[in-house]
Chain A
Amino acid sequence: MDMKANKKKLGLKEKYAHMTRGLDWETTYQPKEKVFPQATFEGIKVHDWDKWEDPFRLTMDAYWKYQAEKERKLYAVLDAFAQNNGHLGLTDARYLSAVKLFLTGISPLEYVAHRGFAAAGRNFPGVGPRVACLMQSIDEVRHAQTQIHALSNYNKFYEGFHAGATHQIERVWYLSVPKSFFDDAFSAGPFEWMIAIGFSFEYVLTNLLFVPFMSGAAYNGDMATVTFGFSAQSDEARHMTLGLECIKFMLEQDPDNLPIVQKWIDKWAWRGIRVLSLVATMMDYMLPKRVMSWKEAWEIYFEQNGGALFNDLAKYGIKVPECITQCTVDKEHISHQIWLTLCTHGHAMALHTWLPNADEMDWLSAKYPNTFDKYYRPRFEKLQELADKGERFYANTLPMLCQVCQIPMLFTEPDDPTKICYRESEYQGEKYHTCSDGCKHIFDDEPEKYIQAWLPVHQVYMGNCWPEGTDPTVEGFNPLAKYLEWCHIEDGKDNCDYEGSSDQANFAAWRGVATQNV
């Protein structure tokens, strides 16, 4: 019977090809340019989409099955965590500042990644990358939601979470750093998106973002965060292979793609590294029990692992981004410089800050022998001295922001850590300031894009960041108070020092109830 011939089992690759590649067709009733209008405007040339190697081969039935299994486990743990007051197992409630930064600064990005990958999953003319991007899109909405669900339990007991995952990222000054990164990528075309998010963020930098947060959570008894972290691990592994496949595909398709891809790699490496300086600060200052220093993490995850990656890409002609040279200097400084700025603007923060205690400063001295005692310890000691006298110092103005990365202009010259680094560009008769050669370079390449940046500090000073109906002419008008209200930052509860906060008092009291017979 001829049926027998059909009984031979198809190989996985062959079967997957039927399940995906075979679905697509060359349209004839509508021109290709109208069906895929974003395919060419960035200048990337693709001659044969069939050369795309599927980075992973998941059909939908398998996807549903595996992912549902992970979801069941994840939510069982989250339920148990909530039921058993898991939050009391934290090393210290000040650790939650790191989690607040995650919920307000990272979770909304997962959401934007979901939308951006949906766009990529619609816009590439090749069916292989489209399916892979859609799988990433749905994974990313998973990550946004599991993070919100995991952290929602902290919101019930602690300050600083109540605004939720998204309200503050549009408003709070330091959150425009991660926000503008994703806005930048999504407002570019689909190929640049893949280099920015798929490759730079998910592949090159994810170990420096995801691993420090999740390890920090594990070290500090945060089972909720660890659980979604572990649960997301296999998704992240898929995303990494997609990012890598994408860059290789672009480079293999046409030699003219190399300079465009190189430019994007340079840009997004630097943009990403600037965002990571917030992670650096988290690692060195916000974890009661530290995992490793930022400098160590940088050396392991970037200098060693990243180095191997760039060696791999060298055969395509890709060079290590020039800005990396500056990073070997910066790794000794950035976390200290940022924490000093955050501490002196603690009244305008959506989380608690604190001055490092003596033990912590000794740890920092040991981890940063070249810089901490020389440049930063004296400043923390001075701040402590003022605080001890009841004169805790808070800056009364907001800091000027870099036009590109939107971090306050607080970083120093590569060759002089006592001098703030300012770079200036002129465009259409206006002056724009950037924090570094890396950011200036990015600005100068696309000034028409970066002049559009919505810099929160500028906007505050222009009076655009108050609740509707605010009258700034009334007597005793307090612009900072109105700004905080607009951001949903509760003055006196969410902000300022951890020492003396209600989070500190509640944590101590609840732990007492849970562990003593009172």
Chain B
Amino acid sequence: MQIDLRTVAIKPLRNTFDHLVERFGDKPASRYQEGSYNIQQESIFHYRPAWDADNVLFDKKRTKIQMKDWYALKDPRQYYYGSYTITRARQQDAAESSFEMIEDRGLAELVPADLKQMALDVLVPMRHVEWGGNMGNSYITAYGYGTVITQPCLYHAMDHLGVAQYLTRIGLVLDGPEALDTAKEAWMSGAMWQPMRRHVENLLVLQDWFEIFVAQNLVLEGLLNPMLYDYLDAEFSAKGATAISMMTRFMAEWSAETAKWVDAQIKVAAAESAENKAQLSAWVTQYRAETLDALAPIAKRSFGDKADELLADLTSEFNARCAKLGLAV
């Protein structure tokens, strides 16, 4: 049964702001639209930046990728601050109860020693890789063009910080603060980690923000996240380290969700022009090779003899994904 309360109805003069009417037609706008479209200033700036005198504050020329309309790069999740934080709060709530359960019941102690060591060797140093992802995405937020892409990159940067913190907690739960020192040492000088650290540092000095987006969000995450949160996680679960799977649940969900967002950006940018497609494809080819080199010793540690086969599988899945996005790689 339905009951209808009567209210005083006043006919509004207009549905929404001018620029949204122009873009989407004369109808009420969503909160995502109101909070994202055209809120970055566009053309008139007072002073040349002291740190980049060739460009204006928000400048389309800071990347080789060109778009007629930068607001075509919308976020399929339609995240504005409110919907983003509410989604993540829900996920962190679930993650928190996993960590609590593991800590309360001492489930970490039930993890077989070899798998525990695997997590300490492979997952915990990854916190530094995540921190690199934070830096790249902060850069895009600062110097990218158009709120529909710069905004989710900040959310992504904060997510990377969050993931780095979850990985830190895994180290603390499994072994304590010493685990973090050991992982840092491995990251700084262990042979297994040097190719990855070199790669991450190389990404920190890139200047083209869309190149960072491709190298970091599409390629590095596109190969690394499935390796960790699908394949390695399957190993953990299958061999009795459920506690570790519980602690990476946030990352598994998050990487699937964000991959959809990344795909939408690449697909639209590639479809824009032959030049974009060629540039994006060239970047993917270059960074795929570099990423695979960086992943090789880590895969070896994680999967032993099966590492090559696994990397080949990952690569072909990744290539199929790129082909679907319209790239020639």
Contacts and interface: CB of A to CB of B under 8 A. Distances in A.
A157 interface: yes
B89 interface: yes
A164 B19 contact: yes
B48 interface: yes
Interface string B71-97: 000000000111001101110110110
A452 interface: yes
A392 interface: no
Interface in A154-202: 155-159, 161-167, 169-171, 176, 179-180, 183-184, 186-189
B35 A64 contact: no
A166 B41 contact: yes
A156 B48 contact: no
A145 interface: yes
A152 B131 contact: no
B34 A148 contact: yes
B180 A18 contact: yes
Contact of B150 (A3, A115, A142, A152): A115
Interface string B23-63: 00000010100110011111111111111000001100000
Contacts of B210: none
B154 interface: yes
Contacts, number: 250
Contact of B158 (A85, A138, A145): A138
B72 to A, nearest CB: 18
Contacts of A12: none
Interface stretch (B133-141, B235-243, B259-267, B300-308): B133-141
A461 interface: no
B18 interface: yes
A307 B325 CA distance: 59
B46 A189 contact: no
Contacts of A166: 38-41
Interface stretch (B170-178, B270-278, B283-291): B170-178
Contacts of B198: 29
The winner among A74, A116, A137, A159 for most chain B CB atoms within 10 A is A137
A457 interface: no
B249 interface: no
The winner among B127, B130, B204 for most chain A CB atoms within 10 A is B204
Contacts of A161: 17
A466 interface: no
A38 B29 CA distance: 39
Contact of A122 (B86, B127, B135, B166): B135
Given A71-B82, A165-B39, A60 B162 contact: yes
A513 B161 contact: no
B177 A18 contact: yes
A278 B205 CA distance: 42
Contacts of A513: 8, 10
Question: What range describes how many residues of A lie at the interface?
Answer: 35 or more
Contacts of A396: none
A134 B57 contact: no
B47 A170 contact: no
Contacts of B34: 145, 148-149, 152
Which secondary structure characterizes the binding site on chain A?
helix
A188 B19 CA distance: 30
Contact of B51 (A41, A63, A67, A163): A41
B157 interface: yes
Contacts of B141: 114-115, 118, 137
A462 interface: no
Contact of A449 (B41, B47, B57, B135): B47
B216 interface: no
Contacts of A27: 201, 204
Interface in B242-269: none
Given A23-B131, A69-B89, A187 B49 contact: yes
B43 A3 contact: no
Given A149-B35, A166-B41, 19 more contacts: A6-B176, A22-B184, A25-B188, A27-B201, A60-B161, A61-B95, A68-B86, A122-B139, A134-B154, A137-B138, A137-B141, A138-B154, A145-B31, A148-B34, A156-B16, A166-B38, A170-B41, A184-B47, A454-B44
Interface of A: 1, 3, 5-6, 10, 14, 18-19, 22-25, 27-30, 34-35, 37-38, 41, 59-61, 63-65, 67-69, 71-72, 74-75, 83-85, 108, 111-112, 114-116, 118-119, 121-122, 130-131, 134, 137-138, 141-142, 144-146, 148-149, 152, 155-159, 161-167, 169-171, 176, 179-180, 183-184, 186-189, 449-450, 452-454, 488, 506, 510, 513-514
Interface of B: 7-8, 10, 12-20, 29, 31, 34-35, 38-51, 57-58, 80-82, 85-86, 88-90, 92-93, 95-96, 106, 108-109, 127-128, 130-131, 134-135, 138-139, 141-143, 147, 150-151, 154-155, 157-159, 161-162, 164-166, 168, 172, 175-177, 180, 184, 187-188, 197-198, 201-202, 204-205
What are the nearest 9 A-B pairs in CB distance?
A: A68-B89, A60-B162, A6-B176, A145-B35, A119-B142, A164-B17, A156-B12, A118-B141, A23-B131
